[in-house]
Amino acid sequence: MLRLCSHQLTVGVSKSFCKLKGICPVKKEGAILATSLTLGRMRLSLLLREEPLSDLRVVMSRFLNVLRSWLVMVSIIAMGNTLQSFRDHTFLYEKLYTGKPDLVNGLQARTFGVWTLLSSVIRCLCAIDIHNKTLYHITLWTFLLALGHFLSELFVYGTAAPTVGVLAPLMVASFSILGMLVGLRYLEVEPASRQKKRN
């Protein structure tokens, strides 16, 4: 049924095209057939070009919305850690740096709090403007730095032990890096697809 309607539409457009071109009635059927074939090829090429692109765009748009929600959630948790670092520095040696708690003092806790607050603000801004590539890359680097910091404290310096307090930020940083790398692929594809659409 759909194919028949599509064929009738193509024939109707073809007849109109023939009238515009001034083709005589004797040659009309051949011209209609040739025009139908040309229009059919054009329609098929448009369908092949547009549909996978639009499907990808919908999927990646949903993914970016999930990534935004994730960034907001991580940002809020980081703000909570910032408040704890400023309020009481025992939080750091009880939860994170349990390997060498004597190295943790109030100054180190406040420095950790400022670093966490900066990361939180950057991640929140990225969630608001996720299509800003520079901000996106900076946000990705905040997770890479956090992962590097906790891994080095765990395996190199020995100030952290493999407890829940250390494994949680390691997992959050790892999942965030993975998600942001997938999203980065879409951000690189998107301008090319917009350029194709304009052409």
pLDDT digits (tens, 9 = 90+) for 61-110: 899 999 999 999 999 999 999 999 999 888 898 989 999 989 999 999 99
Looking at this protein, which amino acid is placed at residue 128?
I
Residue 47 lies in a domain: no
Residue 4 lies in a domain: no
Residue 101 lies in a domain: yes
Residue 31 lies in a domain: no
Give the position of tokens 């790398």: 181
Provide the residue range defining the domain that includes 161. 53-198
* pLDDT over 50 at 59, yes or no: yes
State phi, psi for 97 to the nearest 5 degrees: -95, 65
Overall domain count for the chain: 1
Percent of the chain exceeding pLDDT 90 equals: 53
* Position with higher pLDDT, 4 vs 136: 136
* pLDDT over 70 at 175, yes or no: yes
Q: Whole-angstrom Cα distance, residue 106 to residue 90? A: 9
* Position with higher pLDDT, 35 vs 111: 111
Cα distances (Å, whole numbers) of residue 177 to 20, 62, 65, 67, 107: 59, 18, 16, 11, 29
Give the position of tokens 């390997």: 99
Residue 96 lies in a domain: yes
Please state the pTM of the whole predicted model.
0.69
Confidence at residue 25, expressed as pLDDT on a 0 to 100 scale = 47
Task: Check if the beta carbon of residue 117 is closer than 8 Å to that of residue 78.
Answer: yes
Confidence at residue 91, expressed as pLDDT on a 0 to 100 scale = 86
* pLDDT over 50 at 8, yes or no: no
Q: Taking residues 114-124, what's their average pLDDT? A: 97
Residue 6 lies in a domain: no
Give the position of tokens 């948790």: 77
| Mean pLDDT (the chain, rounded) | 79
Residue 8 lies in a domain: no
Confidence at residue 42, expressed as pLDDT on a 0 to 100 scale = 55
pLDDT digits (tens, 9 = 90+) for 137-151: 999 999 999 999 999
Cα distances (Å, whole numbers) of residue 80 to 116, 120, 154, 167: 9, 10, 23, 18
Residue 127 lies in a domain: yes
Confidence at residue 198, expressed as pLDDT on a 0 to 100 scale = 52
Task: Check if the beta carbon of residue 76 is closer than 8 Å to that of residue 146.
Answer: no
